[in-house]
Each structure stands twice: as structure tokens, then as C-alpha cells.
Structure 1
């Protein structure tokens, strides 16, 4: 059994910055196993019958919200990079401009449950359990939204400034992201950037939900005043380049972003999230991602 306990210095950095970079968390063999599986899933993508659902996290609030997306919480589904498709016209449907395996933005959202490789390195991982326990932020974490994100060469899009609790809202907010580099992540191919300490200032004043008439939208959180800060313009943003096998823990309130990938190198990562599942924390039916009776969000410990 391999475990990973955080040092006091790492805990202090987590509390101060709102994120923590842990190099070599997964060894070379473990990382290769996950990367090989991610590439296998990409290579097996069959575009026939796919609804051509794209995924983007746009600064103007435009998000994916079709049934293929909304019903993906207990499945493994493929979401395409918007620029991998030609524009649709009244007479001509969209078509892929790149090979299918190179068109994928992300694959999700139940990899940690349904895929044996990612289950092994998430729900069955003593290292993941021990690092989550030693973080001390959650008493009974539930795992959700597990996915591969590809950031394809030359077409991988920007992910604008955001925090994760907006998209995986609990009352009170409790989300934590676990982000695993499967390849080298650099400023050139779209590594993460963080605004350290912003988790102490940001307020989750809006949440991403299922719209009453179908699709998705954002709604205000009652009683929470929105921030007036323009996060993108603030000083202190810090890039977080990292090598394969690195684990990045992300506080649900910390502001982070990533640039597009104009390079000729892929930036494939695996990520999942945890929310508090104990008493006093509510995850409600408004959230876009919903557990099912057959597949509730699994307990990590």
C-alpha cells in the first residue's frame, strides 16, 4: 500500500494559495498507464452517430447544454473542440476538420467509476485517499466529474478565469479539484495559471444549473453579493507548468485559467472533483451534473 501524506509546509501553502502542486505524485508507470488509456479512448472515438456536441467554457457565459451533455454523469462521452468542426449551415451539417481522435476536447464524466484504469488511480488509490485525508478539508468526500481533457495541438481553446464551485455548487461551497498531468504542461501548450490567495476573496455568487426549459444557465446564489474584482486584470497571476505525474489540488474558490494551445504538442490531463458528502452540506437537483439511483457519487473514504 502506497500512501502520500502532506507535509506541514504543503498544508500551509494550500491554505495560503488555494492550490497545491505535488510533483511526481504518480510514478512513471502509473502515469504512462493513464496516458495510454486516454490515447486509447481517443483513438476509439467513433464519430458516426455522435451529435457533434462541442464543449467550451466561454467568458460570455455560453456553455454546452444539450441532452448528450446533461445525461453524461453516469457515462463516458466525448465532447469536441469547437474549432475542430466546420460551421453548420441550413443545408450542410457540421463536419470534422481534423481526424476524430484529434477533435476531442474532453471525455467524461464517469471515468473514475466506469473505466478500470482511471478507477484504479482514483477510487481504488491509497495515495489519493491519503492525500485527501491529510488535506483535512473534507470529512466524507464524494467523487464526481472525472474526465480527460485533451487541449489539442493548434486548436485547443482557452479556458477563461473561473472557480470550480460555480460549476459544482454545494451549500456551503466545498468543491476541490484533483488535476493530474499526463504529459508535460507548459506555458506554450496551455498549462494552468492561478491567482494565489483568491480563494480567500472570491465569493460563489452564481452557479451553473439546468435551465427549467432545457439546457443550462447561470443563476444567482441568494444572499451572496458578487465580487467586484476583475480577476483577469489583477496582479499576481502565477503559471503552474508541471511534468507528467504531477497532481495539482485546486480549492473550489480559487480563480484559475489556461491559455489556448497553439503549439504542435498535446496537453492531455486527467481530472476529477470532490465535494463534501457529510451532514450539513447540500448538493441539490439544480446542478447540471446529477447522480442517478444506479450510480450515486461514490464515497472516497
Structure 2
């Protein structure tokens, strides 16, 4: 285990420069995250957000499925559990009034789009397989990366929901651990509109729990299984988490065991982001993992 103290601030590298250096890789090993500024162009961010608008406009006829990371309110319905091979919209918890009617316009009601648009939509396919991502993963991540899931996260103004402190390996476990997150700020992310917070060095801790299917069919729902009693760090500035305030176009790479969190967005500005999760083809992906793909849509790498 690396006993060196975590960095006080995220290590940043230039996306347009050469391959990551030994110092960059050492910072990744120490902190469990890496911030890469100017990784994605403004035009590419705008293109992805425009495509998301088109998808959301078609969501009026979709079933109402609310996304939440709060265990007591998580919706593990068939719409969610079958989304590993689909492009689906999920609503914000606070988008509805007491009568169950939308309290905001549809375009302001969607929490996220997920989870296979990187394989099913041309715009997301091009974005997810950008050279900068492949180069970064080659330097830091899985030896044989497979693009498992992606999410377009809206963090809507005033009602953008909190994402409770968690480890990505809880939801996308492999044996051995291999999941890596690529998180791209499509708009400026600040403390005010719900930026990411991460625990430097927290990836050296244990995996606390696993989220899995409770049975053989989507209708059987899901369950959490506790693995280790070590508590996750408390959210906000009073604990060990540090805010990752970044401008649009920034890439944040996240280790699968790294505790991270984002608070609710009570500002009048959205905080759109694109998140892509990868696993190693050499690792075992469990059959009871919540996200599954049918044989006709196999996982792919960057090509």
C-alpha cells in the first residue's frame, strides 16, 4: 500500500500533450482520481448536449422511472434493469408534484439518459470512443477495456438530485476489481451546481457493499449486500472529500473503489456531464450484476 499522504488538490495534466508521465501515474495511484483539463472541445460538448435534447424530446411516451441513489427510494424496476442494452430516460425525484404530475417542463425533468447509448447512438459512440479517452485508459486503466455503461447526467437546475457517497465498484463489480469511470464536464461544474467531491486516497480502502439482482428476472428487483463495515466518508466540506470544481471540457478519471459524492443542485444553472464506465475483459463480471447485455449486443472496447 502506498503510504504517502494524499495530495491536497487534484493532479492536472494537459490533454493535448504527450502520454501521461510517471508522475501522473503516481498521482493516480496515490489519489485514485485524475483531472485532465481541456480534454474535450466546446463543440463536442455542445453536440452531445444537443443530441441529449433530441432524446429527451422523445421521452414523453416513456414509463415514469425515477432515478435515486438513496437505498430506501431506489427504483429497481424492469425499465431500469433492462436498460443495459437500451437508451432510456430517468426522471428526477423532485420533478413531480404531490399528485404525481410533472411540476417542471419535460426538458427540465430528466435526471439522466442511460445506459447503452455509447453502442446504440452514433453521436454518443463517437464521443465515447474519442482518442483522448482511449489514450488515458491505456496509461491508467484496464488492460483490455470494455465500455460497460454510460450516462448523460443533467443535474437539473433547482431539482438536480444528490448522488450519495458511493464507490462505482458497488454497482459494477468485477473479480478482481477493474471498473474505471471517465466523467466529462459538459458544462462548468461548481460547488453551487453540484460538482463532484472525491476522497483523495480513498480508493485504498475496502469495497463496502455490492448492488446486484435479487433473482433471475428483471421483475425480481435488486438488493444490496454488505461486505465491509468501514463507513463511507460523510459528504460536504466537514469530511475528507475535496470538491472537483472544473470547467466544461474537463475529464475526471475515477478509480472504481474511490468514494465520491455530488450534492443536489439548488442553483439556476444545470450541470450536465457524461459518464462512461469501463471494465477489464480479463476480469470476471458476475451473472447477478444489475447491468446485463444480451448476446446480440456484446461489450466493445474503443474500436
Question: TM-score normalized by structure 2?
Answer: 0.88
Per-residue deviation, 1:122: 1.5
Match of 1:193 among 187, 193, 197: 197
Q: Which residue of 2 aligns with 1:268?
A: 272
Counterpart residue number, 2:3: none
User: Is the 8 Å Cα contact of residues 233 and 240 (structure 2) preserved in structure 1?
Assistant: no
* Deviation readout 1:132-164 (Å, 9 max, x if unpaired): 1011x3110110111100000000111111000
8 Å Cα contact 1:207/1:219 also seen in 2: yes
Q: Are the counterparts in 2 of residues 140 and 300 from structure 1 also a CA contact under 8 Å?
A: no
User: What is the correspondence of 1:57-136 to structure 2 with a 5 Å cutoff?
Assistant: 57-58=69-70, 60-87=71-98, 94-123=100-129, 125-135=130-140
The 3 A distance-change label for structure 1 pair 235 and 96 is closer
User: Of residues 53, 71, 85 in structure 1, which corresponds to 2:65?
Assistant: 53
Determine if contact 1:3/1:131 at 8 Å carries over to the other structure. no
Quick check: 1:4–1:130 contact (8 Å CA) kept in 2? no
5+ residue gaps in structure 1? Answer: 89-93
1:11 Cα deviation after fit: 1.4
For 1:39, the equivalent position in structure 2 comes to 53
Residue in structure 2 matched with residue 181 of structure 1 by the alignment: 185
- Residue 91 of structure 1 corresponds to which residue in structure 2? none
Select the residue among 23, 26, 39 that pairs with 1:25. 39
The alpha-carbon distance between structure 1 residues 14 and 6, as it changes in their structure 2 partners (threshold 3 A), is same
Q: What secondary structure, in the 3-state scheme, does the structure 1 residue paired with 2:104 have? A: coil
1:219 aligned onto 2:225 = yes
Classify 1:66/1:10 alpha carbon distance in 2 versus 1 (closer, same or farther; 3 Å). same
Instruction: Specify the alignment match of 2:8 in structure 1.
Output: none
Residue 61 of structure 1: how far off its partner (Å): 4.9
Pairs aligned (count): 283
* Equivalent residues of 1:4, 1:127 under 8 A apart: no
1:51-104 Cα deviation digits (max 9, x unpaired): 21100001x45422100111111111010001101245xxxxx22111111100
Shift of 1:4: 6.1
How far is the alpha carbon of 1:32 from its aligned partner?
2.0
